[in-house]
Each structure stands twice: as structure tokens, then as C-alpha cells.
A and B are shown apart, each in its own frame.
Chain A
Amino acid sequence: MKNLLASTAVMLALALPGLAQDYSPDPNAKPGGTITITYKDDVATLDPAIGYDWQNWSMIKSLFDGLMDYVPGTTTLRPGLAESYEISGDGLVYTFHLRPGVKFHNGREMTAEDVKYSLDRVTNPATQSPGAGFFGSIAGFENAGDGGLSGVEVVDPATVKITLTRPDATFLHVMALNFSFVVPKEVVEAEGADFGKKPVGTGAFKLTEWTLGQRLVFEKNPDYWIAGVPYLDSFTVEVGQEPVVALLRLQNGEVDIPGDGIPPAKFTEVMGDPAQAARVVVGGQLHTGYVTMNVTTPPFDKLEVRKAVNMAINKERITQIINGRAVPATQPLPPSMPGYTEGYAGYPYDPEGAKALLAEAGLADGFETELYVMNTDPNPRIAQAIQQDLAAIGIKANLQNLAQANVIEAGGAGTAPMIWSGGMGWIADFPDPSNFYGPILGCAGAAEGGWNWAKFCDEALDAKAIEADSMFDPAKAEDRLKLWSDVYMGVMDKAPWVPVFNEERYTMKSERMGGEDALYVDPVSIPVNYDYVWVKQ
């Protein structure tokens, strides 16, 4: 009986559509107009099951929707295509009630069958989705294939029931991830592998032109299910543009947002000019740049050595190398991430103390090692700074400047003693502390080929992480964050990483762009939340 009462309480709490925390639109926002965004690289694909780079991430968000969504400019969850949902008392069954009357761009109404099809598709190995792993807690994931997921059931055209194999506090975030976005079966099957070039979703914009290597044009979906959204009539993404040139075009009034940001060579000039600096929006980013030390190879198997390295690196100086566009990091989680441990100062910068620790480890004369780094600016310069700091305590680190793919390979294979993560660093997939653990610090990621390049595996911490992620009850959210904070403090005690800095986001916009600043540094939509920004004239 006690159980039943408790479960009813949970269900009631969550059955509310949660509109209390919703977005209040800008009263000055005007509909109409079109904007231009530039990128250096071509857009790879707009298939939500496949697209996984920061460039196409927010475009996909504007073309498609998931059951869950975020309040624009924040990390707060809100219902998306699901009008409401319930969670069973044991946290294993999620029932989503779909919003009625939502239509795909082809005019057909979206139903529960589409939700099931989309989840079956993303987890089917034949789709080769880089995001399949996020759905690991859904029942039947292990046998996912052409038969679909046994854990996803269509109750009626407006209701989907998803059964999990273990309680998963991050599940609602997973339902807001691009990979879970709903696609129409008939279009996916008709287009096959070309769906990523001819996407059809329920989103605020539809794709009307894609000229390979040149431009993509997105036009407003007049039937979008949120009244009054989007504000823009259209937006154009021009690709193949050097960031320096994009900035010149912005100054000339031809570009509204340079997608690749302010190029390092121009940063001081932009920030030194009040007119230009006024158009720059600064915000936190769910990112940490770190140095990994392979704990399975000597001498990094010694805790003293890892602590010494932590104390040898001058993080302040490194942030200066990137024009101060970052804050020194003290722990794996970035400050804007829930679960961040406030007041923890991390290892101090103390070369003398570091030398003493090395002596304690029997390495008073230092040692020679290798530091792997991705070969694009500013990473080699950062690696050189780290190299100098290490030399000051007697560690001779030889730099291995390699292409991204080669560094990832060496990290996965465990052949790299140290890696500077720049250019490959962890940016959260969703705003939850668990997302910074499993693949990069947990035992699962330490396997051959995994992203845990320190090969760090602490079973007690793993158990704590699992415990935290099973606390799905929102009433225990604070306890859960405390537990996560403990996990990361546990990681810092073992020092497999040197957390170096948390990058800040600097987005530049043209004068005519409107909307509150938060939309330009939206934590989940980079560079901007296209659905909510607007133009002044």
C-alpha cells in the first residue's frame, strides 16, 4: 500500500503538462524577415538519427521535434510532441500522450506509430546511428533490429508506452535528444539513404533548398503546432565560408550570424571595438577541455604522478592563449551543469608541490612521455604551454600533433599516455551530469576503442553513478545531484584528468537581430535557437 501511494504521488506530479515553467515570448518580437548564417564546412546530413555535429544539431532541431523539448535558452525540460506523460511508480514505464493535430511537412498527421517507428529505426543497427547507445535502457535494446524495440508500444494513435529495463533518471532528456526525433515512415522509406538530404519532420521550419557545397534554405512551416512560432520567414545557411571572411561579410551587413564564431585572429580587434563588441553575446557552454593520463601505463599508474601533473599546469595562462575565452576548470563538470560542486577549488597551481609529489613517487628526476594533440589551432599552442609547464617539474613531454581521427584512435587503443582533448573535448549531449561520466570516465568507456582515454575504471564510483541514475523521482532530484557531485569529487581524488578550462561561447550577431541574449547562447541549440530569434526590420 505504501508503494502504491508513493507511486501515485509520482504519477500525479508528472502528469501535469509542466507549462508553469514554459517560455514567455518576447513582447517586441515581430514576425517576418530572413537571416543568413555561414559555416566553413558543408552540412553532413539532416537525418536526426545520424546527424551528430554541432553544425547540423540545431538545424535538425528546427526541422523535427521530439516527445520532449527544452524551454528556449535554458536547460529546463518541457513537453514537446507529447502533451503530457506519466511515469510508473517503479520508474520503468513511461506513457506519453501525444499532442493532437501535429502534422508533418507533407501534411500527414503524426501518430504514435511514427514515434515507435522512429525509435525502432534509430536503434536498428542497420541505421548506423551514432546515437543508438543513448536508448540502452529501453527494453529490447539488446535485440534491436528489423523487428523493432519490444519496449516501445503503441497503445492507441495518441499514446505511446515505453518500458525500460532499469530506472533511468536521464530518460526524459534522451527523449529530447535529436536522435529520438519523430520521422514519417513513408518518406524515410521512399528516400532511403537520401532522407538526410530531403528531410521531412514536424518542426518549425522545412528545408526548401539544398545546393551541395553552397547553401541550404529553410522556410517557415505555417502549420507549426506552436502558434506564432517561428518568427522568421526563412533562414539561409551558406557553407564553405572561411570564418575571417564571414566576419568581413557580417561587418558589411551580408551575414547575420557567423556560425563558426569569431576567429581567434580577429578576437581582440572585435572585442576592442565597442560597436562590434556590443553585438557579441557571451554565455556558458557545457564543455570541459582536459588532459587525460592513461592510468594503466607507468608512470601514470601512480596517483602522486597524476596529482603532480594536475598541480604543474598553469590553467590561467592557457586560458590567455585562447584570448581568455574560457574559465579555468576545477573539476570534470562545467559550472553551468547541474551537479557542479560549488566551492571546490581543485588542485592548486604549485610547481614546487608537484616536484615534491614526483619525488615521493620515486621520480625526482622526472620522466619522458608523449602528449597527443589534435593538429588544428589553437590546440598545438595549448599543448606547447602544457609541455613547458611539465618541463618545469622535470617531465619531458614530446608532442604528437595528429589529425583528429588519429588522436581518437590512439586514445581508444590506449597507446597515448597523455591527450589534450581540445577539438575533441566533451560538449554535453544533454544537460545532465550523467552525460559527462559513462563514456569518458566510466568503466564501460575504458574498453578498447572507448572514449575514456585515461582508461580510468573505479567500480565503486561506477556503482554510485548507477545508483544516481536510478533516482528518477523528481522529488529526489537534489539528492541525485548531490550523489553526482560526490562521484565527480571521487574522480578528482583519483586524478585521471587535468580539467583545464571550460570554454565560453561567443556568438556574434548582426545589428538587426532581435530576441533575448539567452537565445544566442542557448545551451542546446548552437549557434542559435532558430525558432525563436527574430529580426528588427
Chain B
Amino acid sequence: MAAYLIRRLVQAVLILLGVSFITFFLLYVLPADPVRQIAGRSATAQTVENIREQLGLDRPFVVQYARYLGALVQGDMGRSYLQKTEVAELILSRLPATLLLMVAAIFCELVLGLTMGIVAALWRGRAVDQTLMITSFVTVSAPQFVVSLLLLYVFAVKLGWFPIGGYGTFAHLVLPAVTLGILGSGWYSRMMRSSMIDVLRADYIRTARAKGLTRVRIVLRHALPNAILPIIAMIGIDIGVFMGGIVVVESVFGWPGIGQLAWQAIQRVDIPIIMGVTLVSACAIVLGNLLADLIAPFIDPRIRLR
């Protein structure tokens, strides 16, 4: 186990190094000059060159990348070009909101998705199955912007049950989390359905049935733990997606998450922020997957981590 963990962590570092290199390189070759964004439209050529020199952007790519990595190793993610604030501070200030929404959204996805998946699998081929699968198809394809605004309009503006956007209380969290839950539930329900159908065909389920166990007990005790493995892996990926930011939902609900920060930085070619957010979300994807792999043996003892 320890050896496995060490190997995976070394792999994680290599992946992050690769991600940082590719992102840095793409930003370097991008046909947009951050210095012009900083210098403004009235700047003289001399001012532009001065700024380029101060930021070290006149140096060759390798030197720039080495400097960035050197600072990063010491925990320095740099300062935003335009806001002049520490990138770490900007990201940290948005991390609580991002994490809270992530946990709440995954919870909603699971409650909705797993319930739909199990019900569809149990009544496979019936009208209820078909209805649920069409629903899942619709939720997966629905544009975030439309669903967000629709829920906001109905439940916040018309019914007044929840505040119209913002952050701070449980009431503020409900609508964005439910929106993301609905949007993501389609993936989970489809995966849960097919996984469940496989498991329900297994010999041990037939044995359980032959023993005369109740249907509820068969599903919850015998089928679910075995069917849920692919779902765990999917949560790992989901964590990364949420950490990368959910720009549309965040901006409709005025949720101060990391997505808004990333979007603004991309618009303004604010390289230190783009690098910071990319690395944080890459970290989350790597750790999310690692976590999913580590949990797997506890659910299914047949799995050995090597």
C-alpha cells in the first residue's frame, strides 16, 4: 500500500509537471501579448519594453519556465499582472466557495443520478426506464445557462423561496447545487443503470434471491456495493471538473468560485492566474482519481492496489 501510494504520488508530480509545461508553452506561443494589456493603449514603445523586462517576459522560454517553476517550488505562484495581487491569495479566497459548491453539487448528482439509475435498472425496458433515460439524455444536453436561469426565475424570482443569487447562507447554496445536480445526474444515472444491470445478472444475486431475501435487501446489501465502483471513479473525475470552475452556473448565481477568476484571467491574458488555476484544477483531478482508487479496495475487497 505504501509503495503504491509513493509510486502514484511520484506519477502525480510528473503529470503536474507536464501540465505546467504544456500550459506555460501554450501561453507563450499564444498570439496575444500580456504586456500590451498591462501597458494600456497610450503606452509608448519604451514603456512596453520596460514592463516586458521587469516581468522577465523578454527572456527565452526556457528561462521563463525555469523561473516560474523555481518560484512555484518555493510556494510562490506569482502576482496577477493586472490585479497585482498574489495569485495564491486570489485562489485561496475563492477556494471555500468552490469546495462548498463542489460537495453540494456532487451530493445532488448522486442522490438524483443513483436513484434514477437504480430504478431504471430494476424496471429495465419498462416505461419508467425509458422515461428516466430520456430525462437523463435531456439533462445531459441541456445548456447550463438555460437551466440555471430557469430555476432562478421560478424558485427565486417568482416563488421567492431562495435568494436571487449570492453567497453566504445555506439558502444561497441550494439553487446552484441543484442546477449542477440536475445537469450532472444524467451521466450518473446512465452509468449506474448499466452497472446495476450487469450486477443484477450475477450468480450471487440469483443465490440471494433463491435464499428468499427481500428485494430491498438484495439491492442495497448485495447489488449496490458492487455496482457503485465505476461511480466512485467518476466522482474522482467530477472533482477535477468542479475545481476547474463552472463558469456559467457561477456567474448566473453570483457564486464567487474559481471559474469566474479563470474566465476573467483568460480574457485579460493574466498568465500567472491562468497558470495557478490550471495547476490547482490539475492537482484536484490527480488527487480525485487517486482518492477514488484508494477507496475502491474498501468497497470491493477483490481489488488489490499494486
Which A residues lie at the B interface, using CB under 8 A? 38, 40-42, 44-45, 47, 50, 52, 125-126, 128-134, 136, 193-194, 196-197, 211-214, 238-242, 244-245, 248-249, 251-252, 254, 403-406, 408-410, 412, 429, 438-440, 444, 447-451
Contacts and interface: CB of A to CB of B under 8 A. Distances in A.
A308 B36 CA distance: 32
Nearest to B85: A197
Interface in B211-226: none
B141 interface: no
Contact of B36 (A193, A254, A412): A412
B232 to A, nearest CB: 31
B31 A245 contact: no
Contacts of A38: 254
B32 A248 contact: no
A439 B39 CA distance: 13
A405 B90 CA distance: 22
B269 interface: yes
A193 B157 contact: no
Contact of A131 (B40, B89, B90, B253): B40
Contact of A213 (B34, B37, B261): B261
B130 interface: no
User: Which of B43, B89, B261, B267 counts the most chain A CB atoms within 10 A?
Assistant: B43
A405 B42 contact: no
Given A131-B42, A240-B254, A447-B45, A403 B267 contact: yes
Interface of B: 30-34, 36-45, 47-48, 50-51, 54, 79, 82-85, 89-90, 93-94, 97, 149, 152-153, 156-157, 164-167, 250-257, 260-261, 264, 266-269
15 contacts: A40-B251, A45-B83, A128-B50, A130-B42, A133-B47, A212-B256, A213-B93, A213-B257, A238-B254, A242-B165, A245-B165, A405-B37, A405-B267, A408-B36, A439-B42
Contact of A130 (B34, B38, B264, B268): B38
A450 B264 CA distance: 24
Contacts of B269: 405
Given A42-B260, A42-B264, A212-B89, 4 more contacts: A128-B38, A196-B83, A242-B252, A405-B33
A409 B54 contact: no
Nearest to B156: A248
Contacts of B94: 212-213
A214 B96 CA distance: 12
Contacts, number: 145
A404 B166 CA distance: 28
A242 B165 CA distance: 9
Contacts of A212: 85, 89-90, 93-94, 256
A54 to B, nearest CB: 13
Nearest to B263: A41
Given A240-B260, A405-B268, A130 B39 contact: yes
A371 B233 CA distance: 46
Contacts of B261: 42, 213
A249 B32 contact: no
A403 B274 CA distance: 15
A444 B44 CA distance: 8
A248 B84 contact: no
A510 B63 CA distance: 54
Contacts of B251: 40, 240-242
A372 to B, nearest CB: 11
A428 to B, nearest CB: 12
Contacts of B43: 130, 132-133
B153 A410 contact: no
Contacts of A42: 260-261, 264
Nearest to B152: A245
A44 B36 contact: no
A132 B253 CA distance: 38
A214 B153 CA distance: 22
A406 B153 CA distance: 36
A280 B141 CA distance: 37
Contacts of A132: 43, 47
B48 A404 contact: no
Contact of A240 (B50, B157, B255): B255
A209 to B, nearest CB: 13
A252 B31 contact: no
A403 B36 contact: no
Given A212-B94, A240-B255, A126 B54 contact: yes
B54 A451 contact: no
A412 B41 CA distance: 10
A408 B32 contact: yes
A41 B255 CA distance: 12
Nearest to A438: B42
